[in-house]
Structure 1
Amino acid sequence: MEANIVSYVIRRFGFALVTLWVLSLLVFAGSHILPGNVGRAMLGPFADQRAVDALNHEMGADRPLVRQYVDWMAGFVTGDLGKSSAYRMPVAQFLTGALANSAKLAFMGFLMVVPLSILGGVIAAVYRRSAIDKAISIIGISATVVPEFISAILMILVFGIWLQWFPISAVWPAGSGVGTQLYHLFLPSIPLVLVLFGYIARMTRASMIEALDSDYTRTAILKGLSYPLVIWRHCLRNALAPTISVIASQTVYLIGGLVVIELIFRYQGIGSLIYFAAKKKDFPMLQAGVMSVGAIFAVVTLIADLMFAALNPRIRLEGRS
């Protein structure tokens, strides 16, 4: 049993490393395919070409691509993310703050959408083919297909301008406490909840229906256990296993797919940082931002796989990859 668990963890960890390596190749190749010159971007369009060439030589931008890739990856692994070509400051100073801000917004959305979606999926499964089931399914599907920028604008118009319940900006005053920060992040979190609710609720519903129709559920009911206890102790545990994979993939979206939300609500997170880095052709910032999101994806996916195996021991015992 322990050997199977160790083997499963090693395989998943190896897959995560391979994923990051492939991503690093794509990011590095993409940043060099994009038009632009690092030295020219830093010195401006009117700088002398000799000064541009000297700066490129100083930064190593004129070295062979293989050497640049090796040095870049070595720096990323050791925490040296280089210097921003747009701001001429270490990338780590910008990246740390942006990741922290996005983590706060993602945590707020995660805290709202996961319990709500699981509860909605369980209720829809228990009352399948009823009006409640249809209402939850229709709401989830309708909310999923609405783009974030439309729902965000509607939230601002209704709750920020007309009702004036929440601020229209996610930026809180300096020195604000946790309560004030959550208050400013509540409105930007609503579009995220609307987009993700349908995915998680539908997966939970499908898994719960399968669990409710299983033999072990009927056996537990025949033994005299109450229906709520059967749902909580037997069905939900097995139904959560496939739901975790969906939650993990959507958690990555909460971290890295917030460009629209962050721009609309003027929030300085990793999404807006990557957007402005690409706009300014700040390749060191762009590479560090995308690789950080990829590292988060790999870690979250690895954790999800381990949780999936813990909830469903057959996965690791069967040796699935």
Structure 2
Amino acid sequence: MRHKHKPWFLVSQRLGIAFLTLIIVSFAVFFATELLPGDVAEVLLGQAATPEAVAALRESMGLDTPALGRFIGWLLGLAQGDLGTSYVNNMTVAELISGRLSNSLKLAGIVTLVSVPIALTLGIGAAMWQGSLFDRGISILTISVISVPEFMVATLSVLIFAVWLGWLPALSFGADTSSFLEMLRAYAMPVITLSFVVSAQMIRMTRAAVIETINTPYVEMALLKGALRSRMVISHALPNALGPIANAVALSLSYLVGGVIIVETIFNYPGVAKLMVDAVATRDLPLIQSCAMIFCVSYLSLITLADMIAILSNPRLR
């Protein structure tokens, strides 16, 4: 009976660890933003930033209270869905983020739909024909892409597709499009850049996971007895490699959480990452903290989901 409930015990344990990690991350995010240079009150007042005016503005924004008290109030607000009020725009942070978040989710969704099928197909294919010309070509391509920073991939994409060929716009404003073709053109540049970077890492991790499963004794024995390699991979190796593949997909997609900042900035895409970069310039602490927490929650959710899939798909725990 104890063994029967072991997977769900491990799942609940992972959820507890994720919750504890989120508390620690929220503490780090809040106090890291407190260390940003400059004073938001002085930035807002500009030339009118006299000592009296700065002190009065700091008091009205609650910045004169101890940082620990402000952190507890901020954390309690987050638990109730209150993200606070922007210092610069005098609007609720939730209102500022809502439109940008939908843009970021739309971009991440398109990149996922493009990159995951391609990466899994190439990664599994490279593992099935390990050591072949196809496998070597895929390995060289993925290592080359991983070795190049994402801003360089974005710059080369602009140079090739926008400047030399003139097929696509250099900037992506994420505006509403009236046709499917216009939507493809609007999202093509950031999707191409992110798909290249995300797929490369996912291909290598998927290939490694499948090869590790293929090299297990029972698969090798079946292959020696004459079983078709493709059938053994699809019917036996893949189900047992589901956990590592889920981790590979989650780790690769988690790059979208942080790496998208550079892409959104280069292509002027109106997402949450671009909003956070603009908030850093104006020292808008509530907006910075909320954007950072969105990234952290997204990353933790992906990693925790991958861990849960790995636990539930492990035949030794079922």
TM-score (normalised: structure 2): 0.91
Q: Displacement of 1:140 after TM fit?
A: 0.3
Contact residue 83 and residue 286 of structure 2 kept, 8 A: yes
**Out of 10, 16, 30, which is 2:12 matched to?**
10
Tell me the matched-pair count.
316
1:270: which partner in 2?
272
Q: Displacement of 1:225 after TM fit?
A: 5.9
Q: Deviations over 1:200-239 (max 9, x none)?
A: 1112112222222223324655787644332212112222
Separation in 2 of the partners of 1:181 and 1:266?
16
Q: CA RMSD, aligned part only?
A: 2.2
1:71: which partner in 2?
73
Contact residue 7 and residue 312 of structure 2 kept, 8 A: no
**Match of 1:39, as an amino acid?**
A
Contact residue 198 and residue 253 of structure 2 kept, 8 A: no
Separation in 2 of the partners of 1:184 and 1:178?
10
Contact residue 144 and residue 195 of structure 1 kept, 8 A: yes
Q: Displacement of 1:267 after TM fit?
A: 0.2
2:58: which partner in 1?
56
Q: Deviations over 1:105-139 (max 9, x none)?
A: 11122112211111111121122112111111000
Separation in 1 of the partners of 2:47 and 2:309?
52
Separation in 2 of the partners of 1:135 and 1:149?
24
Output aligned runs, 1:167-186, within 5 Å: 167-174=169-176, 176=178, 180-186=182-188
**Out of 93, 105, 109, which is 1:107 matched to?**
109
Contact residue 145 and residue 195 of structure 1 kept, 8 A: no
Output aligned runs, 1:1-321, within 5 Å: 1=3, 3-174=5-176, 176=178, 180-218=182-220, 226-314=228-316, 316=317
Identity of aligned residues (%): 35
The verdict on how the C-alpha distance between 1:120 and 1:92 changes in structure 2, with shifts beyond 3 A counting, is: same
Q: Displacement of 1:45 after TM fit?
A: 3.7
Q: Displacement of 1:3 after TM fit?
A: 2.5
Separation in 2 of the partners of 1:179 and 1:224?
49
Give the stretch that moved more between structures: 175-184 or 86-95.
Answer: 175-184
Contact residue 99 and residue 269 of structure 1 kept, 8 A: yes
The verdict on how the C-alpha distance between 1:132 and 1:209 changes in structure 2, with shifts beyond 3 A counting, is: same
**Match of 2:78, as an amino acid?**
F
**Match of 1:287, as an amino acid?**
Q
Separation in 2 of the partners of 1:173 and 1:205?
37
What SS does structure 1 have at the residue aligned with 2:254?
A: helix
Q: Which runs of 5+ in 1 are unaligned?
A: none
**Match of 2:236, as an amino acid?**
H
Separation in 1 of the partners of 2:47 and 2:298?
36
Contact residue 44 and residue 88 of structure 2 kept, 8 A: yes
The verdict on how the C-alpha distance between 1:182 and 1:11 changes in structure 2, with shifts beyond 3 A counting, is: farther
Q: Displacement of 1:286 after TM fit?
A: 0.7
Contact residue 103 and residue 174 of structure 2 kept, 8 A: no
The verdict on how the C-alpha distance between 1:12 and 1:45 changes in structure 2, with shifts beyond 3 A counting, is: farther
Q: Deviations over 1:63-116 (max 9, x none)?
A: 122210110111112111111122221111222222221111111221122111
**Match of 1:238, as an amino acid?**
N
The verdict on how the C-alpha distance between 1:311 and 1:5 changes in structure 2, with shifts beyond 3 A counting, is: closer
**Match of 1:25, as an amino acid?**
F
TM-score (normalised: structure 1): 0.90
Contact residue 152 and residue 188 of structure 1 kept, 8 A: yes
Q: Displacement of 1:55 after TM fit?
A: 2.4
Q: Deviations over 1:235-289 (max 9, x none)?
A: 1222232122122122222133212211111101122122111122111111111
Separation in 2 of the partners of 1:101 and 1:173?
9
Give the stretch that moved more between structures: 212-221 or 135-144.
Answer: 212-221
Contact residue 122 and residue 208 of structure 1 kept, 8 A: yes
